[in-house]
Amino acid sequence: MTDHNCERLTSKIILEIIPTSPFNFDATFHKPDHYPTQDNFWEPGVKWQTMVWPNFVPPSGGTSRGKPPEKLGLKFINTGSTDKPKITVKVYSFLKLDQEYLNNLKEELIYRYSLSLDLTEFDQKFRDDPQLGPIIKRWKGMRPMHYSSLYEHIIIMIMLQNCTVRRSVSMQQALFEHYGTLLSFDNKKLWAFWEPADLEIITEEELRGLKIGYRAKFIKRISSQFVNHEVNEFAIRKMSQEEQKEKLLSLYGIGPASVNDLLWEVFKHYDKLVKISPWQQKIYSKLFFDRDPENPISEDKLLHFFEEKYGRYQMLAVHYLWEDLWWKRQNEHIPWLEKLIRL
DNA sequence: CATCAGGGCCCTG
DNA sequence: CAGGGCCCTGAT
C-alpha cells in the first residue's frame, strides 16, 4: 500500500449536525458486523471515512452533470451527549467547497446516518419486552446507517456474495488499489471509491485478474447501468417500496438477499424483512429461540415470528438484537457465533 | 492429494 | 420452481 499515490486534501471546513435525541454516536457510526474496509476507520467518539459526492445534487429524477464529483475526507467527532447530541464534522477536500455544496452534503449525511430519526415510539413500544427492552436501554439512540452511495453499497453486496469475510476484504481492497483513489487527510490515509464510468474502459478479463471471479461480470454490467442512467439513486428514493424492490431486482447480480439488505440499509425501510439468507437464519434461530444453529427454524416461520412480534418495526428490532450480539463479540468469545462466521 | 459446500445469483428446462 | 454452474477458499 506504500507505493500508491496519495491525494492530499488540504482544504478543511467544519459542519455541525444536531441529531434528534436520544442519540448513540458509537453504535450509530460503527457497526461491528460490517466487514472492515479501508475506506473508513472508527475509534470511540470519532469516525473517519471517504466520500465521493457530486458537485451539485442532481434534480430529482434527473442525472448528475457538470464537474466531476468531489472526493472528500470526513471526520465525525462526537461533541455532544446522549440527551444533548451534537456531531462536529470536519470536511476535507481538494478544492474549496461552497455553501450550497455543504448544505447538500449535510442533508445527505443526515439521511445516510438516520440522524433525524425519531425513535420515541419504538422505544416506548418495546422497552418492556423481556428480550428487546434491556437491549434498547443499552443502545439507547442507536440508528441504522449506511455510509456509502447506492452504487458503492451494491459493490459491497456483490463482494459479500458466496464467500468468506477474508475473501470479501481482499477483493474489495484489490478493487480500491486498482480503481480507487487514496486520500490523505487528518493523518489518515483512506481509499475513496471509483465512479461507475471508470470501469467502462476496463475489460471483464482485467477485473477477473483481481480474483473476483464471476462477480466481474456483475460489476461491469451494473456500472454500465449506472453510467447509462438506467439507475438513479435519488429517483429510486422517491419510489414506493414495491417499485424499489422491482428496480433493484432488475440489476444484474442483485437477487432477493441483496435486495432485502438494500431496502433496509440504503432505503431505510424498517417495517419488513423480505428474505433471510441461510447464515442469518442460523443466527436468528439461536438468538431468538436458542435453537441449535445446525437445525434452524425455517425462513417462513422466522418471517412470521418477526411480523407478529415486532410489526412495522421488525427490521429495526432485529437490528438492535443483531448489533448487540456483534458488540458482545468484541469483548467476549461466543463459540456458536464464531462457528457461523466464515472468516 | 481430492472433493465439496458455501454470507447468491443467473439461466435453463 | 428445481437444480446445475460459477471463482475461490477452507474444511474434511
Cell of A154: 451494491
Beta-carbon contacts of residue A128 (< 8 Å; ≥ 6 apart): none
Q: Exposed/middle/buried for A331, CB within 10 Å: 0-12, 13-18, 19+? A: exposed
> Is A12 a residue whose pLDDT tops 60?
yes
Q: Cα–Cα distances in Å, from A31 out to A41, A202, A263, A285, A323?
A: 11, 33, 18, 21, 7
pLDDT tens-digit series, residues A167-202 = 899 899 999 999 999 999 999 999 999 999 999 889
Cell of A315: 427490521
- DSSP 8-state class, residue A297: P
- Report whether A281 contacts A296 (CB < 8 A): yes
Nucleotide with minimal C1' distance from the CA of A161 is B8
> Is A59 a residue whose pLDDT tops 80?
no
The alpha carbon of A50 is separated from its chain's Cα centroid by a whole number of angstroms, namely 13
Nearest Cα residue to A48 out of A96, A9, A103 = A9
> Is A57 a residue whose pLDDT tops 60?
no
Distance A277 CA to C11 C1' (A): 21
Domains of chain A: 6-138 (3.30.530), 150-184+192-265 (1.10.340.30), 278-341 (no CATH)
Protein contacts on strand C: list nucleotides below 7 Å from a Cβ: 6-10
Distance A339 CA to C11 C1' (A): 12
> Is A158 a residue whose pLDDT tops 80?
yes
Instruction: Choose the weakest-confidence range: A25-39, A128-142, A279-293.
Output: A279-293
pLDDT tens-digit series, residues A295-338 = 888 888 899 999 999 999 999 999 999 999 999 988 888 888 88
Distance A167 CA to C5 C1' (A): 20
Nucleotide with minimal C1' distance from the CA of A208 is C7
pLDDT tens-digit series, residues A106-127 = 999 999 999 999 999 999 999 9
Q: Strand A11-17 relative to strand A87-93: parallel, antiparallel, unpaired?
A: antiparallel
A213: CB within 7 A of chain C nucleic strand: yes
How much is the mean pLDDT over chain A?
A: 91
Q: What is the pLDDT of residue A56?
A: 64
Q: Exposed/middle/buried for A184, CB within 10 Å: 0-12, 13-18, 19+? A: middle
Q: Within window 30-69 on A, which residues have Cβ closer than 7 Å to strand B?
A: 33, 35
Q: What is the pLDDT of residue A30?
A: 96
What is the dihedral angle through the alpha carbons of A332, A337, A338, A343, rounded to the nearest 10 degrees?
Answer: -120
Instruction: Choose the weakest-confidence range: A48-62, A66-80, A137-151, A266-280.
Output: A48-62
Cα–Cα distance for residue pair A325/A314, rounded to 1 Å: 17
